[in-house]
Amino acid sequence: MADVQISSSTGSDSGLPSNFAAGLCAIFPLLGGIVFYVIEKKDLFVRHWSVQTIYFGAAWIAASILVWILSALFGHLPLIGLLFFLLFGLVHFAVLCAGFILWIIGIIKAVSGERWEYPLVSALGKRYFPNLT
């Protein structure tokens, strides 16, 4: 079930072992993914993880910003604003917790050398940005 694929550091543009470079991508979701996407052209495992972390980092940031904006908009409504503010506060907490759990899982999978895709985020990223893969 797990596609373990660790290549040697000789076939890499970064000079790092594949699982270490993929782990760095996963530790720094958006920034690490962009850096290794630009640097790494040969190692397909690192390229896979750089694209995955670009998708994940962008989605996590976008979801947090969206919930924050909705909370600010609906939180100022008279009478029911406090309820919306509390509701979106809980939603924001759920987004942060889910993102944190997926972030930890991604780090573990990348360092262990497994090719894994973030649920829902990867499918949407591939659909909207097919040339990035």
Range of the domain at 72: 16-118
Cβ neighbours around 63 below 10 Å, total: 18
pLDDT at 8: 47
- Place 3 in a pLDDT band, splitting at 50, 70 and 90: low
- Place 133 in a pLDDT band, splitting at 50, 70 and 90: low
Residues of the chain with pLDDT > 70: what percent?
91
Name beta bridge partners: 114.
4
Phi first, then psi, for residue 113 (nearest 5°) are: 90, 20
How many angstroms separate the CA atoms of 114 and 110, rounded?
6
pLDDT of 70-115, one tens digit each?
A: 988 888 888 888 898 899 999 999 999 999 999 999 999 999 999 9
In a domain, residue 97? The reply is yes
Instruction: Name the burial class of residue 12, with classes exposed (0-12), middle (13-18) and buried (19+) by CB atoms within 10 angstroms of its CB.
Output: buried
pLDDT at 5: 53
State the Cα torsion 18-19-24-25 to the nearest 10°.
Answer: 70
pLDDT at 20: 94
How many angstroms separate the CA atoms of 29 and 90, rounded?
24
In a domain, residue 70? The reply is yes
**pLDDT at residue 43 is higher than 80:** yes
pLDDT at 13: 84
**pLDDT at residue 14 is higher than 90:** no
* pTM exceeding 0.85: no
The number of domains in the chain is 1
**pLDDT at residue 6 is higher than 80:** no
